[in-house]
Structure formats: structure tokens, C-alpha cells
């Protein structure tokens, strides 16, 4: 079996490589704008995004397609934070996250040429300490997080914002590797050792 990552994300590629999962990259060109968010259902929304991405990258014979989409969700506002449109939007997002707990939810879809499709979501809770306006401005100017949901990358300069995490750290980076590895393992491990 050949694993196809339906994403151009360097972070997802790196996580799969760290886990020892050889893969090819075939970025998806799915139209995400047609997926509509139903209030109070962030899991369903992000799973649908992952499914659309997998469908846009058809699996060939002997291939398994892995797609993922990650969102930042603020439960108290029932708001999904995507990638910031501009600096003002990034400031707004980080100010909203400051001193509060938010959820990072990754939808994952695994599909093959036979029509097998498995989709699921993994959630991690992230609590930010109180951030000053100066810290937020400095971070945005230094790291330019315009390509990141919620306007931050935990692995790229925002690690010191985080007081605590509940859940999979790699999910926050962009791919819940423990859950993904568990789902993919049966396809790639030919022999198992009996106890």
C-alpha cells in the first residue's frame, strides 16, 4: 500500500515522517467554501472538510489517501477561527484566545480506491495565559501567522502563550498522529508478533 497525503502542509508531512510513515504528497484542491458550519457542530464541520479534501484526491489502486483539516474553536462564542484575513483580524483572534481555553479540532479522512472511507475528529483543549497587547503585536510582526488557524502556531513562536494542554499535542500542530497511526497500522503492518 502507498500512503498519499492530500495536503501541502509541511507540518503534516513532518509529523508523518517522524512517525515513520512513508508517504507521497498530493495536495487537494477541494473547494472548502461550500462547506457550511452548523452552529454548535464544529466536529461535523471539520470532518466534512476532511472528506471533501480526500474526495478531491482520488485514491488509485494500492493507495490510501489521508486528508486532514484543523480548526480553532471557541466554545463560549461558538466561533470557528480560521486563518486571519489581515493583521487586524490576527490581533482580534489572539485577543479572544488570551486568558481562555479553546479547542483545536482536526478532522481526518482515510479513503482507498475500493470506496472504504473512515472519517473522525480529534479534539485538544488549549489554555492561553493572559497576553498583553504588546506581546500579541510582537508575535504577529515576528511570526506572521496568516496561514494558521486561530492566528498562531504552537510550534512556531506561540509555545509561550500556552499554560496547559489536554489532549494530543500533534493535533494542535495539525495531525493527531496517535489516532491516525492506529487507523493506518493495519494497512501497512504485514506481520504481527504474537505474545
Residues with a known catalytic role: 69
Q: How far apart are CA 177 and CA 168, in angstroms?
A: 8
Spatial neighbors of 74 by CB under 8 A, at least 6 apart, are: 80, 81, 96, 97, 100, 102, 103
8 Å CB contact between 94 and 32: no
- Of 108, 101, 117, give the one whose Cα is nearest residue 167: 101
Question: Which of helix, strand or coil describes residue 119?
Answer: strand
> Pick from 33, 140, 20, 37: which is nearest to 80 by CA?
37
For residue 112, give the nearest of 162, 159, 74, 62 by alpha carbon.
62
Q: 3-class DSSP state for residue 55?
A: helix
Judge whether 107 and 144 are in contact, CB under 8 Å: no
Amino acid at each position: 500500500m502507498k500512503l498519499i497525503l492530500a495536503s501541502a502542509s509541511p507540518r503534516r508531512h513532518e509529523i508523518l515522517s517522524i512517525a515513520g510513515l512513508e508517504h507521497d504528497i498530493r495536495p487537494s484542491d477541494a473547494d472548502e467554501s461550500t462547506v457550511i458550519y452548523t452552529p454548535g457542530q464544529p466536529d461535523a464541520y471539520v470532518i466534512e472538510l476532511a472528506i471533501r479534501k480526500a474526495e478531491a484526491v482520488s485514491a488509485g489502486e494500492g493507495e490510501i489517501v489521508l486528508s486532514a483539516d484543523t480548526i480553532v474553536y471557541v466554545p463560549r462564542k461558538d466561533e470557528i477561527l480560521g486563518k486571519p484575513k489581515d493583521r487586524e483580524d490576527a490581533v482580534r483572534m489572539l485577543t479572544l484566545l488570551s486568558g481562555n481555553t479553546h479547542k483545536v479540532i482536526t478532522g481526518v479522512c482515510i479513503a482507498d480506491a475500493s470506496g472504504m472511507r473512515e472519517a473522525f475528529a480529534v479534539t485538544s483543549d488549549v489554555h492561553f495565559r493572559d497576553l498583553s497587547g504588546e506581546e500579541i503585536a510582537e508575535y504577529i510582526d515576528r511570526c506572521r501567522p496568516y496561514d494558521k488557524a486561530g492566528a498562531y502556531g504552537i510550534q512556531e513562536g506561540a509555545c509561550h502563550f500556552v499554560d496547559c494542554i489536554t489532549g494530543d499535542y500533534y493535533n494542535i500542530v495539525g495531525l493527531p498522529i496517535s489516532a491516525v497511526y492506529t487507523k493506518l497500522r493495519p494497512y501497512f503492518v504485514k506481520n504481527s508478533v504474537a505474545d
